[in-house]
Structures are given as structure tokens and as C-alpha cells.
């Protein structure tokens, strides 16, 4: 039970967010209307993704510092979970944009930056697949991962604030919290972020375990093959 309590918590939170998020009270605002419920999904997913990418970068730094391949495994699988959340965030954001702005993908700096960010991390996965040697792949991809996060944060959270953007909190627009982020929203939004982070960690843990099992299996097969010689 000590090892799975956070997984149980994750399931409970996700069900809570889905049920209360779709049925609970929300602020009644012009134009946005019921679509504000997407805050629990679109915005929360992107915040969870950013957290996972940050932790991934930390493990890339740890790998470069200590050279343990397990740290690279963790970094790469956390990035994959983050990319999955990023794609879901783009899809939910497109639905929201279509209802609010009349276009699923308007020419908006934050949206374009999100696309660039996702492409950067897809390139990270492509880079990893280009090397067969584990240590070489880990070294090069760790360096890339660190620089990718350093670029990701400005294009997603800083540059849109310096130019015209449709998103709240960017381009001179008010943030959500300044006019509609009431207690009803907070009761679901904050648990949603926590729940998605736990889900991302859970997905990463499963893939890390599979990767380590496959590595042990390969090493065993190599040892057996050498012993037969």
C-alpha cells in the first residue's frame, strides 16, 4: 500500500476532476460561457507538462553529473509523458479556441510557440533514436534536453507576454485570476494539475520499468550467447 498510495490518489483525483469539472458550478461569463470548464483540462495539462519537462531536465543534469543510465531513462520517459500531455493540451486548446475565437488555430504567438515547443521535444525523441550506444545517446540527448527546456519556457510563457496575444495574461490581456478564477474553479483546477502530474509520473514509471526489464533481458541473452561460445 505504501508504494501505490499515490496511484490510488491519482485515480481518485482524475475521477473527481472529470465529474465535478463537467457538472460543478462555474462563473457565467459572456463569450466563454461553459467552455471555461476547459481550464481543468487544457490549462492544467500544460502546467503538468511543464512540471514534467522541468523534472526531466533535472534528471538530464544528474546524468551528466553522475553518468548513471537510470537517470537518462527517467528523463526520457518523463519527456514522453510531457509530450503526450502537450498534444492533449493542443487538442483541447483548439476546441476551446474554436468556440471562443471562431478558429481552432488562430495566428497567436502562444499557440505558435506551443507548436514549436512540441516539435522541439519530438526532435528530442528523434535524436535519441539516432544512436545505438546507450551512453552516447544519453550524453547527447541530455545536453539537448537541458537547452530545449531553456528555450521552451521563453517561447511559451515569456514571449507571448511581450506581444499581442489572445490568451489571458498575454499581450496586455487580463489573467484568468483577475476576473473569473473563483473558488469554484480553484477547487477543481488545482487538484487537476496534481492529478495530471501524478498520471504523468505513473506513465513514465511504467515505461521505465519496461525499459529496464528489456535491458536486463538483452544483457542476459548476450551473456548466455557468450557462454555458449
Q: In the chain, what are the domain boundaries?
A: 5-228
Q: How far is CA 31 from CA 2, 25, 37, 75, 204, in A?
A: 46, 17, 13, 41, 38
Q: Nearest to residue 22, comparing CAs of 8, 36, 42?
A: 36
Task: Give the three-class secondary structure for 192.
Answer: helix
Residue 197 has pLDDT above 60, yes or no: yes
Q: Would the pLDDT of 174 be above 70?
A: no
Evaluate whether 65 touches 143 at the Cβ level (below 8 Å): no
Given a cut of 80, whether residue 96 has pLDDT beyond it is yes
Q: Report pLDDT for 107.
A: 84
pLDDT per residue over 149-167, tens digit each?
999 999 988 888 777 777 7
Residue 38 and residue 92 in contact, taking contact as beta carbons nearer than 8 Å = yes
Which residue is listed with cell 474554436?
98
pLDDT for 87 equals: 95
Least confident among 25-34, 59-68, 72-81, 101-110: 25-34
- The pLDDT assigned to 179 comes to 47
Cell of 9: 490518489
Question: Can you tell me the distance from the alpha carbon of 75 to that of 66, in angstroms, rounded to the nearest whole number?
Answer: 14
Amino acid at each position: 500500500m505504501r508504494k501505490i498510495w499515490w496511484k490510488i490518489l491519482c485515480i481518485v483525483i482524475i475521477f473527481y476532476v472529470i465529474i465535478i469539472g463537467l457538472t460543478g458550478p462555474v462563473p457565467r461569463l459572456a463569450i466563454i460561457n461553459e467552455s471555461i470548464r476547459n481550464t481543468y483540462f487544457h490549462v492544467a495539462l500544460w502546467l503538468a507538462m511543464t512540471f514534467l519537462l522541468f523534472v526531466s531536465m533535472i534528471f538530464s543534469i544528474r546524468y551528466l553529473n553522475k553518468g548513471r543510465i537510470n537517470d537518462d531513462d527517467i528523463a526520457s520517459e518523463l519527456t514522453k509523458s510531457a509530450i503526450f500531455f502537450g498534444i492533449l493540451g493542443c487538442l483541447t486548446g483548439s476546441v476551446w479556441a474554436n468556440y471562443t475565437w471562431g478558429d481552432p488555430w488562430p495566428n497567436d504567438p502562444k499557440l505558435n510557440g506551443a507548436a514549436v515547443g512540441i516539435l522541439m521535444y519530438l526532435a528530442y525523441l528523434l535524436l535519441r533514436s539516432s544512436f545505438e550506444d546507450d551512453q552516447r545517446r544519453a550524453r547527447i540527448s541530455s545536453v539537448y534536453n537541458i537547452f530545449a527546456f531553456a528555450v521552451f519556457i521563453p517561447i511559451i510563457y515569456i514571449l507571448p507576454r511581450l506581444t499581442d496575444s489572445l490568451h489571458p495574461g498575454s499581450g496586455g490581456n487580463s489573467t484568468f485570476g483577475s476576473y473569473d478564477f473563483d473558488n469554484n474553479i480553484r477547487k477543481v483546477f488545482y487538484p487537476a494539475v496534481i492529478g495530471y502530474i501524478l498520471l504523468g509520473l505513473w506513465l513514465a514509471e511504467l515505461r521505465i520499468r519496461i525499459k529496464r526489464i528489456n535491458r536486463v533481458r538483452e544483457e542476459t541473452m548476450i551473456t548466455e550467447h557468450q557462454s555458449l561460445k
